[in-house]
Amino acid sequence: MTTGSFPSDPSARRAILVLTQHDIAKCMYEQGAAKTLIDDQAYVLPFPICMPADPPKALQNIFFNANLARPGVVLVQSPFDLDSYVEASLAPQGFALEKYMHFSTLCMYLGAKEVSVEQVELKTRNGTSTFKMQGEHPRGSANLDVTSEELQKFRAQMNLHDEFDGGPADITTAEGLLRRTGLLADPSMRTLLEMRRESKNQLRSRKLVINLSSEVKNNLQIVGRLHIPSFITLNAQYNQIVHEQHDYTLTVLVQF
C-alpha cells in the first residue's frame, strides 16, 4: 500500500484505507503492522486530509461529495467510474445496482421499449437464494435467512420494470457508454449492442442472464488481501463482506 501524495494513476488506488497520522506511525513500529502499507494497488489516505489547491476529482468525491474521509474507513473504487468510491461493506450491493443502472441505460440507447427483471439471484459460500418477480418470497437452501434478507433489500432498491418510447438504436451513444464504464468487456451487453447494430433483421426481444458482481470482485480481492492491524477499528460488517462471496445475477427480458 502506497503513501505520500494522492496517486494520479487509478490503478494505484483501487482500494483506499483512511488512517490517522497516529495509526500510520503505529503501523511503522508495531511488529508486522507495516504490511498494511505494502500493496501496489492500494493507498493510505492520511487523516486529517491536507487538500491541495486543485484537488483531483477522486479526492473531491471522497471528501466533499460522498463524505467518506473518516479514520478507519476502507474504500473500494468503482469499476465503472475510477474516481468514485464507496465503503467496502457497501460495495457488493452498491456496485451491483450501479451495473444494472448502466444496463438499463444501454437498453434505452439501443431503442428498447421495455426492460423487465424476471428473477434475482444471490449466491454466497453458504448457498443460493432466488427471488422471482411473480410475487414470490425468496427461495433458497436451508439456513439462508441472512442471504434471503440481503436479497430482499437488494430487490427493494431495484427498478424492476422500465418502459421507454422505443425507437432506432443510437449505436454510437450506446457504445460510448460501454467504453466509458468499462462494460464493453461484458459479453451480454456487448452482444446486445452488436445485435442491435444489425439493421437488416432487427432484434425484437432478448432474455439475458447478467452477472452484476463480476467487475467489483477484483477490487474486493485487493481489499481482502490487506493486512490491517487489529488496533485499527473497522466497520463491523467489514470482514463478513470482504471475505464472503456475493454474486448477484439477474434474468432480464428486453423488448424492442
**CB 119, CB 155: distance < 8 Å:** no
Domain spans of the chain, in order of start:
10-90+217-243, 92-212+249-255
Q: Which helix (H) or strand (E) holds 92?
A: helix 91-109
Which pLDDT does position 3 carry in this prediction? Answer: 58
Q: Name the burial class of residue 171, with classes exposed (0-12), middle (13-18) and buried (19+) by CB atoms within 10 angstroms of its CB.
A: middle
Question: No. of H helices and E strands in the chain?
Answer: 8, 10
Phi, psi of 34 (to 5 degrees): -65, -15
- β-pairing, 15-20 vs 42-47, is parallel
Residue type present at position 14: R
Q: How many Å separate Cα 78 from the centre of its chain?
A: 5
Q: Name the burial class of residue 66, with classes exposed (0-12), middle (13-18) and buried (19+) by CB atoms within 10 angstroms of its CB.
A: middle
Instruction: Write down the mean pLDDT value for the chain.
Output: 86
pTM, full prediction: 0.86
Helix spans in 8-90 (H): 21-29, 57-60
The model's pLDDT over 110-162, given as tens digits with 9 standing for 90+, comes to 999 999 999 999 988 777 888 887 655 545 544 445 677 778 888 888 878 99
What whole-number distance in Å separates Cα of residue 109 and Cα of residue 172? 9
The model's pLDDT over 8-28, given as tens digits with 9 standing for 90+, comes to 999 999 999 998 888 888 887
The model's pLDDT over 149-206, given as tens digits with 9 standing for 90+, comes to 778 888 888 878 999 999 999 999 999 999 999 999 999 999 999 999 987 888 999 9
State the average pLDDT over residues 3-7: 78
What whole-number distance in Å separates Cα of residue 122 and Cα of residue 138? 10
